[in-house]
Structure 1
Amino acid sequence: MAIIPYAHDSFDAHLPLLIIGAGACGLVAALAAQESGVELAILERDALPRGSTAMSSGFIPAANTRFQHNLGVTDSAEAMAEDIQKKNGFEADPAIVELLATQSGHTIEWLADQHGVPFELVEGFLYPGHRHLRMHATPRRTGEELMGALLNAAEAAGIDILAQARVVDLHVDDTQRVRGVTIERPDGSRESIGCDALILACNGYGGNVELVERYLPTLKHALYYGHEGNQGDALLWGQAMGASTKDLGACQGHGSLATPHQILISWALMMQGGIQVNLNGKRFSNEHGGYSEQAAKVLAQPEQVAWNLFDARIQESAQAFEDYRNAQESGAVRSFATLEEMAAGLGLPLTALQTTFAAMQQHAEEQTPDTFGRHFEPANLLKPPYYAIRVTGALFHTQGGLEVNPTARVLNTHGQALPNLFAAGGAARGVSGSNDSGYLSGNGLLSAVVLGAIAGKSAAELLHLKLSSAALP
């Protein structure tokens, strides 16, 4: 993988716009650009496009949508932007945060109305840091279903996806304009395709062990639960071109991945009253602080695991999540009639477990926060029968990347936009600040989908401007 100096090469083919990556970001960017009449293709390294999107819950936060209005939820872009910035410690670019919040509702409704993505507002609980219900998802609540809907939309729109086409080189001239790419097929053969604009939608560097150790040392031993193709290609290409990078220590972790089953367990279990205990039967954190930073906290426990503990009320509500149903079918969910039975079944010290539950009861009765700052409501205290899932902490995807402006153009280290290079999703600097604690639920797909749409539209506008300029006498 390299940057190849452009020397008036003759390419095997040419298209006005190329998009690298056929995850949610690349697909949405293509849909947006194609509406403007731009001829394009998506280059995808895999035989079947999935990406990290297919491994996610598929939840996209958006403000002021009709889906919210229909259920009586009053929200605003201003409130959403404030929630994002409050979670990341006001470290993100305020212009990008405002842009994503403002455009989120329009983008969700556009995908639903123009491209048939069957969005619903997720009800029943608030994710940490969100003041309103604003998570939008497809009915099965899976990223796999979201990917299927977007792929169907791309097919209906006649968008070309070149699968098994791994981009290995970018051809760049001395003005930092991308002139084309070289792709490699599984048999080792190579082709070159020229372009007038390029969108990097190929996610971050979570699958690159060397880069994770360099930028995310606290998670270097974490299980990576993202797409193996996320090798940091966009980051490395950008750095070689003199692009500005920001917040490379930011990421989305998750403190609730069933082990050894490797099935994502929704954090809704915690938000509805569940707790996590370590192998000593003790809680070790405020489970309402956020699932991203919880990854490192779980990994710091004995054997790098914890038990999710919850009850029948939460178990029933969790049936709305296909991932949870899959966890049940795989045997990851265990049930116990009493606390004593659970302690014996899980190999936890009974006295410590009883002390943990008694402390929650006391805090609920006295309405006082525990030592971690969590409040317990009497109505949400756990009651028998109990349920348990063994989980570990995992790295899902990185949140830092190439710095972009509000048109998704990649910036150089002097703050100037590169001529025709765009980035979105995991390839671009996100809105999660500089570390693992700034991730607000949904930030990843927010950047992928909303910034992806902006990148596609902006690239189309740039290409139309180029055509208009060429037509002038």
Structure 2
Amino acid sequence: MGIVTFRDDDAFDVQLPLVIIGAGACGLVAALAAHECGIEHVVLERDALPRGSTFMSSGFIPAAGTRFQAEKGVEDSAERMAADIQAKNGGEADPAIVQALADYSGRVVEWLADTHGIPFELVEGFLYPGHSRMRMHATPRRTGEELMGCLLNAAEAAGIDVLTQARVVDLHVDAERRVRGVTLERPDGSRESIGCDALILACNGYGGNPELVARYIPSLKEALYYGHEGNQGDALLWGEAMGASLKDLAACQGHGSLATPHQTLISWALMMRGGIQVNREGRRFSSEHGGYSEQAARVLAQPGGIAWNLFDARIHEAALEFEDYRNAHEAGAVRTFDSLPAMAEGLGMPLAALQASFEEMHALVERGEPDAFGRIFSPETLLAPPYHAIRVTGALFHTQGGLEVDTRARVLREDGAPLPNLFAAGGAARGVSGSGDSGYLSGNGLLSAVVMGAIAGREAARELLRVMAPADTASGK
């Protein structure tokens, strides 16, 4: 992989107006947006089957002011959503990008539903940490796998060309840092070149590159990586070589609830509905109502780097709506106990400490006080037997820093000017989660992928149409 300075000619095997690298949610949505503008393009995907980070997620997209919210009586606005995002990241994200994503979020979700048949539903029953309104939109099975399937079906119906097993190894740029084209490599080692007038980087972050993780996120360098192996930092390294501005490279999404050894994501809804986490010593160690991203490092700091999710039958029944949870249950990750003594014995933890943790929650409810970590317990969410437990660890899911972009998804140089024809979105671009692991608001990853992906596709197409217009006029078209 590298940057090649290319002469100002068109010596490519194929020439297209637009090339999109990456066929995850970001690249597919960008392709759908560009398609509507009538721009010829191709999506290049390194895998045989497009999956990306989206495939491994819960597939939840936050959006404000949608009809799906209105149908359920949820009042929301882009301004409220933007405020929630900034509150979680401590005001560290670019406010213009945050507002743009919030402004377009509802329109993009409804466009995908109405024009491309994505069967979105509003996720009800609980609020994820930091969200003041129910605004998560998901497909019926509540999985990223299903969302990816729907987007691939939409791309196929639209006639979009997705070229798989096509790993981009080089970008070719000229002296003005304008992208001239790309070289891709096939599994058999053969190479092809495609010239382009604009390029969208939708190839996610660098979570799968241990060297870059150790450099930028040393606190998680030993964490299990639960993301797509293709996230090797290609976009970051290409942009850096082109003189692009890089921002918030320590930002990431971790998760403090990955079932181990089953390696199945356990929804944080368990915690938001009343569940708790204890370590091997039977003690709670944080507020489970903070955020699941920063919880990864807290879980990893416990003895053995593990914790136990503890919840009850009420929460168990509600969690069955999530396919990942059902899979974990069927795989034997969920253990059930009739009493605290039985649970302490079954999990190998001190009974006295476990009982003390439960007694404290009841005492806090009676006194109406928060615990030492700031969490408030309510009578209706106190856990009751039979109890359920899942052994979990902390994991790194994906990175949130990257190439700095403007509200048109144009990649910016270090001096703030946009590069001539390079766009980025999703994990390739700087996200809205601030500078570390604690600023991640649930759904920020797919918000940046889907909404900024739509913006990138539209804006790249508009720029191409603007450049093409004088030629069309001169030729009498």
Match for residue 282 of structure 1?
283
Residue matched to 2:43: 42
Local SS of the residue matching 2:438: helix
Q: For residue 424 of structure 1, what is the amino acid of its counterpart? A: A
What CA distance in whole angstroms lies between the structure 1 residues aligned with 2:412 and 2:271?
40
In structure 2, C-alpha distance between the alignment counterparts of 1:177 and 1:313, rounded to whole Å: 57
Q: Output the CA distance in 2 between the equivalents of 1:367 and 1:189.
A: 68
State how far apart, in whole Å, the 1-side matches of 2:320 and 2:281 are. Answer: 29
Q: Could you give the per-residue CA deviations for residues 390-412 of structure 1, whole angstroms, max 9, x where no partner exists?
A: 00000000000000011000000
The TM-score normalised by the length of structure 1 is: 1.00
The aligned residue for residue 161 of structure 2 is: 160
Aligned counterpart, 1:6: 6
Whether 1:252 and 2:253 are equivalent positions in the alignment is: yes
Q: TM-score, normalised by structure 2?
A: 0.99
Aligned twin of 1:30:
31
Q: Does 1:124 align with 2:133?
A: no
Q: For each residue in 1:425-458, what CA deviation from the matched residue of structure 2 results, as whole angstroms up to 9, or x when unmatched? A: 0000000000000000000000000000000000
Aligned-pair distance for 1:127?
0.1
Name the counterpart of 1:147: 148
- How many angstroms apart in 1 are the aligned matches of 2:224 and 2:59? 20
Question: C-alpha separation between the residues in 1 aligned to 2:25 and 2:76?
Answer: 25
Structure 1 residue runs of 4+, over 3 Å off?
none
**AA matched with 1:155:** E
Q: Distance in 2 between matches of 1:283 and 1:390?
A: 14
Structure 2 distance, partners of 1:379, 1:16, is: 58
Match of 1:172 in 2: 173
The residue aligned with 2:388 is: 387
Q: 1:418 and 1:223 mapped to 2: Cα distance? A: 35
Give yes or no for the alignment of 1:16 onto 2:11. no
CA contact (8 A) 2:338 2:386 kept: yes
* Alignment match, 1:102: 103
1-structure distance, mates of 2:310, 2:387: 7
**Alignment of 1:403 onto 2:404:** yes
Q: Tell me, what secondary structure is at the counterpart of 1:453?
A: helix
Offset at 1:270?
Answer: 0.1
Q: 2 CA distance for matches of 1:142 and 1:364?
A: 35
Question: Could you report, residue by residue, the CA deviation over 1:203-261 in whole angstroms, capped at 9, with x for unpaired residues?
Answer: 00000000000000000000000000000000000000000010000000000000000
Amino acid at match of 2:89: N
Q: Deviations over 1:63-94 (max 9, x none)?
A: 00000000000000000000000000000000
Quick one: distance in 2 between partners of 1:338 and 1:281? 14
**What percentage of residue pairs aligned between the two structures are identical?**
75
Question: Which residue identity is paired with 1:261?
Answer: H
Shift of 1:420: 0.4
Amino acid at match of 2:109: I
Give the Å deviation of 1:12: 0.6
User: In the TM superposition, what is the alpha-carbon distance from 1:471 to its structure 2 partner?
Assistant: 3.7
Establish whether residue 359 from structure 1 lines up as the match of residue 360 from structure 2. yes
Q: Deviations over 1:22-45 (max 9, x none)?
A: 000000000000000000000000
Residue 460 in structure 1 maps to residue 477 in structure 2: no
1:412-431 equivalence runs, <5 A: 412-431=413-432
1:345: which partner in 2? 346
**2:19 alignment partner, SS class:** strand
Residue 365 of structure 1, CA deviation:
1.1
What residue is the counterpart of 2:308 in the other structure?
Answer: 307
Could you tell me how far 1:9 is from its partner in structure 2? 5.2
Rounded to whole Å, the distance in 2 between the matches of 1:361 and 1:288 is 17
Q: CA deviation at 1:370?
A: 0.5
Report the AA paired with residue 354 of structure 1: Q
CA–CA distance in structure 2, aligned partners of residues 470 and 400 of structure 1? 38
The Cα shift of 1:468 comes to: 1.0
- 1:220 lines up with 2:221 in the alignment: yes
* Separation in 2, partners of 1:60, 1:472: 41
The answer (yes or no) to whether the contact 2:10–2:195 under 8 Å persists in 1 is no
Aligned residue number for residue 447 of structure 2: 446
In 1: Cα distance, 2:159 partner to 2:187 partner:
25
SS at match of 2:467: helix
Note the C-alpha offset of 1:55: 0.2
Cα distance, 1:472 vs structure 2: 5.2
Task: State the distance in 2 between where 1:99 and 1:9 align.
Answer: 36
SS of residue matched to 2:320: helix
Q: Deviations over 1:336-358 (max 9, x none)?
A: 00000000000010000000000
Specify the alignment match of 2:374 in structure 1. 373
> Which amino acid is 2:303 matched to?
P
Instruction: Please give the alpha-carbon distance, in whole angstroms, between the structure 2 residues aligned to 1:182 and 1:414.
Output: 28
Amino acid at match of 1:153: A
- Per the alignment, in what secondary structure is the counterpart of residue 394 of structure 1? strand
| 2:133 partner SS | coil
1:71 matched to 2:62? The reply is no
Query: How many residues are aligned here?
Result: 473
Q: State the 1:364 CA deviation.
A: 1.0
User: Residues of 2 paired with 1:136 and 1:29: CA distance?
Assistant: 19
Distance 1:140 1:367 in 2: 37
Q: Distance in 1 between matches of 2:340 and 2:363?
A: 17
SS for the counterpart of 2:308 is: strand
